[in-house]
Structure 1
Amino acid sequence: MKMKKILFAGVMALPLSLQAATLSTGDNIELMAVDGKKVESTFWNPIESVDLAPGKHQVVVRFDGELKNGSKSKMYTTRPYLFELQVPEQDSVIMLPRLNSVTQAKAHFERGPEWKLELSDGSVRALNYVPLHGKGFIAHKDIEGLVAEYNRQHGITFEQGYAVDLKKAAVEVTDKGEVKITGDALAQLKLWYSKANAEEKAAFQQWAKEQDAL
């Protein structure tokens, strides 16, 4: 049973012609982060759905549930899985095949989980995913840091609530050694800024202030 839903940033600013859609999670699927921000759940009051503007969003979930383990039950928790998700204009649910035992769950995730998006009209879409790898289980507690590092490595940033892939702004070197730059100057700046660490960003910000003062 769904316990709590949150309204995500950007939804309130939608034009009347563009309605928000509710994205929910199926049984034993924990919603961890949306567009780089941690979803604040508690054990007693989990958040299992969000209202999102239709379009591209980045969503992170994991399986976390009590399953049969012989004659007893045991909690089974996976690593986080990240989706670059095209949220439709209708309500939808992130689903997995029904998993009843720990043995069944382990086998399913070892061979590659079958994440799917079930829409309110009854149609089902397969979801591409990226498993997030932290250093030790405790690393997954800092889900924002884990997602931020993934986005930094892959040149992904967020603009007006949407995940934007900046790989379209790239520097390519041809076989002849010629340098080819794709994307405009702004896209290039965003790309390299998204890849910088905190120290490099601070140095760039100081340099930019000095340039503006000239």
Structure 2
Amino acid sequence: MKKLVGLTLVLLSGGLQAATVSSSKNVELLVVDGKKVQSSIWSSTESVELQPGRHQIVVRFDGELKNGSKKTMYTTRPYLFEMDVPDDDVTITLPRLTTLSQAKAHFNRGVQWQLESSDGSTSLLPYVELEGKGFGAFKDMEALVADYNRQHGITFEQGYAVNLEQAAVEVSEQGEVTISGDALAQLKLWYVKANAEEKAAFYQWAKAQDAQ
């Protein structure tokens, strides 16, 4: 039986019905909206409940596959999705992979992640393959995702993923970059991108400005 985890989110408005986002066989849920998905040592969490809207979900393939006459564990890098969760239940799926050679070939040529709706319809999921640095790069998944979000101006407001770069930066067809959005959106963008030392310096500066 699948283990279900409910994520407590602050709703933008009342009456929203949570949807169940599940993972198919051998797909492990790692991080949802910046928070590590808690699993036991005996089984991984295969479902989360989310309110309809924009969310960030990180998964990886982690399963035992046939390798000749033996079976071998195969684990991929983590994959990050920024996806719109509908108000119906959905499942993150992969094509059926049964052998090690088949899985390696599929991931090497470009994996096809899909989102399957409760009515059986499917759509491709755009993704980012996360890359770590050094030994044990994927040991702390929360930190890895937090670093990615800082670099790309992604934050979470009222339980939803918000890409501040898209809210505060416009890129024309000619590649020209202009700053858009209101002052608050721009402040949020640069604050999210700042490291801890820069945030502390900004906080001190802001207090000094308020004291004037």
Normalising by the residue count of structure 2, what TM-score does the alignment of the two structures yield?
A: 0.92
Equivalences, count: 208
Give the alignment's Cα RMSD to 1 decimal: 2.0
Deviation at 1:170, TM superposition (A): 3.0
**Greater shift after overlay, 98-107 or 162-171?**
162-171
Give the equivalent residue in structure 1 for 2:62.
Answer: 64
Counterparts of residues 9-88 of structure 1 (less than 5 Å): 9-10=8-9, 15-16=14-15, 18-88=16-86
Q: Distance in 2 between matches of 1:102 and 1:14?
A: 46
Q: Does 1:128 align with 2:131?
A: no
- CA 1:212–1:60: 2 relative to 1, 3 Å: same
User: Deviation string for 1:67-122 (max 9, x for gaps)?
Assistant: 01111011000000000010010001000011001111000000011100111111
Letter in 1 for 2:23: T
Counterparts of residues 1-214 of structure 1 (less than 5 Å): 1-2=1-2, 4-10=3-9, 15-16=14-15, 18-136=16-134, 138-167=136-165, 168-170=167-169, 180-214=178-212
Q: Distance in 1 between matches of 2:162 and 2:17?
A: 21
Q: Distance in 2 between matches of 1:209 and 1:120?
A: 51
Deviation at 1:43, TM superposition (A): 2.8
Deviation at 1:213, TM superposition (A): 2.4
- CA 1:171–1:107: 2 relative to 1, 3 Å: closer
Contact conserved, 2:10 with 2:158, CA < 8 A, in 1?
A: no
Secondary structure of the residue aligned to 2:60 is strand
Secondary structure of the residue aligned to 1:138 is coil
Identity %: 66
Secondary structure of the residue aligned to 2:155 is strand
Q: Distance in 2 between matches of 1:181 and 1:13?
A: 27
Unaligned runs of 5+ in 2: none
Q: Distance in 1 between matches of 2:83 and 2:170?
A: 27
Secondary structure of the residue aligned to 1:97 is coil
- CA 1:11–1:97: 2 relative to 1, 3 Å: farther
Deviation at 1:45, TM superposition (A): 3.3
Contact conserved, 1:31 with 1:47, CA < 8 A, in 2?
A: yes
- CA 1:180–1:61: 2 relative to 1, 3 Å: closer
Contact conserved, 1:24 with 1:94, CA < 8 A, in 2?
A: yes
Letter in 1 for 2:4: K
Q: Distance in 1 between matches of 2:88 and 2:170?
A: 38
Secondary structure of the residue aligned to 1:141 is coil
Q: Distance in 1 between matches of 2:61 and 2:111?
A: 10
Q: Distance in 1 between matches of 2:164 and 2:156?
A: 10
Contact conserved, 2:11 with 2:159, CA < 8 A, in 1?
A: no
Letter in 2 for 1:140: F
